[in-house]
């Protein structure tokens, strides 16, 4: 009959490589999260810069002429805007 201590040691030795593999995977995921967070912060800062005084971010709804478009601002109203 196997000693409970020997069984526990065998189980521990079997789980140790599995734990190291999962730990390595976790490190990779944390690095990816760090990189994605950095990209997110950069895009947020770019959007904030675009929304400074006198500039509004919007969506082009329809092209009227070569240089004029109907644009819907992020807060709702629609405008006719020129494009240079």
Q: Looking at the structure, tell me whether residues 42 and 8 fall in a common domain.
A: yes
Q: Radius of gyration (Cα) for the chain, nearest Å?
A: 28
Cα gap 15→18, rounded to integer Å: 5
Q: Looking at the structure, tell me whether residues 43 and 60 fall in a common domain.
A: no
Tokens (6 digits) for 17: 């490589």
Q: What is the pLDDT of residues 45-66, one digit of tens each?
A: 888 877 766 667 788 889 898 8
Burial class from Cβ neighbours inside 10 Å (0-12, 13-18, 19+) for residue 21 reads exposed
Residue 11 pLDDT level (bands cut at 50, 70, 90): very high
Q: Looking at the structure, tell me whether residues 33 and 66 fall in a common domain.
A: no
Q: Looking at the structure, tell me whether residues 65 and 78 fall in a common domain.
A: yes
How many structural domains comprise the chain?
A: 2
Q: Looking at the structure, tell me whether residues 25 and 45 fall in a common domain.
A: yes
Instruction: Please state, rounded to an integer, the average pLDDT across all residues of the chain.
Output: 88
Q: Looking at the structure, tell me whether residues 44 and 74 fall in a common domain.
A: no
Q: Looking at the structure, tell me whether residues 38 and 71 fall in a common domain.
A: no
Cα gap 80→38, rounded to integer Å: 35
């Amino acid at each position: 009959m196997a000693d409970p201590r020997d069984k526990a040691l065998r189980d521990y030795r079997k789980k140790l490589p599995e734990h190291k593999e999962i730990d390595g995977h976790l490190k990779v995921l944390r690095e990816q999260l760090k990189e994605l967070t950095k990209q997110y912060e950069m895009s947020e800062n770019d959007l904030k810069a675009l929304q400074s005084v006198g500039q509004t971010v919007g969506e082009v709804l329809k092209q009227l002429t070569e240089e004029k478009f109907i644009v819907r601002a992020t807060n709702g109203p629609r405008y006719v805007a020129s494009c240079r």
